[in-house]
């Protein structure tokens, strides 16, 4: 009973209406309705991001040889994602509420340690997921180091930097904007639920996705929301998202969102049933990922002070 009481209090603290992310969302007055907040997300994706990505791919095909197109397309696409989403949200904030862009969770306080901690946690969690997914054995294919030689080191570094554009881009849209706006206007748990559902729906057309893969994408959103609320910003979860994706695809060579990748040293294909490994969709489509996400969500819910930077240790209470 004592453990349940403590867990209940910590969850209540994370989902407090006074959480820093929700305080920031109220800077420009009353937050928008749920329909407006979701419409901003859809408008950003359909009217800004998709055309920007198509233009970036066209530039890559026009100016680069076939052999270098995949890496260049990844890097340019990730950078284009960050620029498109940030520009769209900046314009919306200026026109609708005139609140600063930093109120989407980008306050400068403790930014570097949060980035480093998020990156470390994201890498370790992906390694744990890969280990469980590969419990029945693996098949190894050639990696970029074998195919490209020393040039693969530079390609891996540049792709990692580009993922530090892609991860924060998704987090500022779904957690910085959508979670903050809806959680501040209605109830925090509604913000977590809606932002996670919209996030999973936005990835729902990924090739090879299954019902379990969709569930894991929803849990990804819940984990990201809980992490951001416990920390009171999105620096950490942006870095977590970046390193999670990069480690899965570019370093280990697993498929990501149904898209095949070539690993850095070797490309890993986990043997065993698809319900465990995720099959063609990648680790995010398997029960190994489900277990890791549920454990992480439970841990943050039980000990949110681990991610908080404040004298009192209360979640989401850091100030600029």
What are the pLDDT digits (tens) for 225-264? Answer: 999 999 999 999 999 999 999 999 999 999 998 889 999 9
pLDDT for res 267 = 93
Nearest CA among 22, 15, 18, 19 for reference residue 182: 22
What are the pLDDT digits (tens) for 109-156? Answer: 899 999 999 999 999 999 999 999 998 899 999 999 988 899 999 999
Helix/strand/coil for 256: strand
Write the DSSP string, 113-179. Answer: HHHHHHHHHHHHHHHHHHHHHTTT-EEEEE-HHHHHTTHHHHHHHHHHHHHHHHHHHHHIIIIIIII
Mean pLDDT confidence for 254-276? 92
Angle of CA points 127, 234, 314, to nearest 5°: 100
Residue 8 confidence (pLDDT) above 60: no
């Amino acid at each position: 009973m004592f453990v349940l009481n403590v867990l209940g209090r910590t969850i209540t603290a994370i989902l407090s209406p006074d959480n820093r992310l929700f305080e920031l969302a109220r800077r420009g007055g009353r937050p928008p309705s749920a329909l407006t907040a979701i419409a901003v997300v859809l408008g950003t994706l359909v009217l800004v991001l998709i055309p920007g990505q198509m233009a970036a791919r066209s530039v890559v095909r026009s100016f680069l040889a076939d052999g270098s197109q995949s890496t260049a397309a990844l890097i340019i696409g990730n950078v284009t994602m960050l620029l498109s989403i940030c520009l769209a949200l900046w314009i919306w904030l200026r026109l609708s509420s005139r609140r600063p862009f930093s109120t989407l969770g980008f306050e400068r306080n403790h930014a570097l340690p949060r980035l480093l901690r998020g990156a470390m946690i994201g890498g370790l969690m992906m390694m744990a997921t890969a280990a469980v997914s590969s419990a029945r054995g693996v098949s190894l294919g050639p990696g970029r180091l074998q195919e490209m030689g020393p040039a693969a080191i530079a390609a891996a570094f540049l792709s990692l930097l580009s993922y530090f554009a892609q991860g924060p881009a998704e987090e500022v849209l779904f957690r910085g904007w959508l979670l903050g706006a809806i959680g501040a206007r209605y109830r925090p748990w509604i913000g977590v639920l809606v932002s996670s559902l919209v996030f999973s729906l936005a990835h729902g057309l990924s090739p090879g996705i299954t019902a379990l893969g969709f569930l894991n994408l929803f849990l990804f959103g819940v984990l990201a929301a809980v992490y951001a609320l416990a920390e009171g910003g999105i620096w950490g979860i942006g870095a977590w998202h970046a390193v999670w994706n990069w480690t899965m695809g570019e370093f280990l060579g697993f498929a990501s969102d149904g898209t095949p990748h070539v690993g850095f040293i070797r490309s890993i294909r986990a043997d065993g049933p698809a319900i465990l490994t995720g099959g063609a969709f990648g680790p995010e489509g398997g029960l190994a990922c489900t277990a890791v996400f549920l454990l992480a969500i439970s841990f943050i819910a039980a000990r949110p002070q681990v991610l908080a930077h404040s004298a009192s240790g209360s979640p989401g209470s850091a100030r600029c």
